[in-house]
Amino acid sequence: MTDEEIFERKKELFECAKCGACCSVPGYVFLNIKEAQTIARLLGISYGEFYDKNIRKAGNQHILKTPFSGGCIFWEDKMCTIYEARPSQCRTFPYWKELTGDHKEWKEIEKYCEGAKRIKF
Ligand code: SF4
Ligand code: SF4
């Protein structure tokens, strides 16, 4: 199997273990307007209210505001409080295109991502 085939196979077998390791560390969560509207709907608030409270601009993109403690604002009591409406970035982690070719980075992810660790084939 080539590295790319191994990666694709792992992607098929992956199930998020909801360990929160990727949610409780500092990092940017990018989201688009449609995703922000979906989250606002889930929370039962207006898009404007959601935007003012939870979003800031990073260049020409939108990101969730990160608290001083570092983790995601929606990671509470060891769970994602907006799980059904989480942005695409969260749904697709750790299988991001930019990580596929970076084996060093990928090995790091396999050290802390419970779902990735559980894959055996
Ligand atoms: S939105 Fe949810 S899944 Fe995404 S980083 Fe925040 S807590 Fe984690
Ligand atoms: S680190 Fe991996 S298993 Fe844990 S919540 Fe993130 S994607 Fe899921």
The band of 52, judged by pLDDT with boundaries at 50, 70 and 90, is: very high
Closest ligand relative to 78 C-alpha:
1
Asked whether residue 102 carries a pLDDT value surpassing 70, the answer given is no
Give me the percent of the chain exceeding a pLDDT of 90. 54
Q: Is 19 close to ligand 2, i.e. is its CB under 6 Å away?
A: yes
Look up residue 64 and give its two tokens.
Answer: 């969730």
Look up residue 17 and give its two tokens.
Answer: 């273990």
> Cα of 75 to ligand 1 centre, how many Å?
6
Asked whether residue 73 carries a pLDDT value surpassing 70, the answer given is yes
Contacts of 47 (CB under 8 A, 6+ apart): 36, 37, 40
What is the value of pTM for the model shown?
Answer: 0.86
User: Quick one: pLDDT at residue 121?
Assistant: 65
Q: Is 40 close to ligand 1, i.e. is its CB under 6 Å away?
A: no
Asked whether residue 117 carries a pLDDT value surpassing 80, the answer given is yes
> Cα of 47 to ligand 1 centre, how many Å?
18
Asked whether residue 5 carries a pLDDT value surpassing 70, the answer given is yes
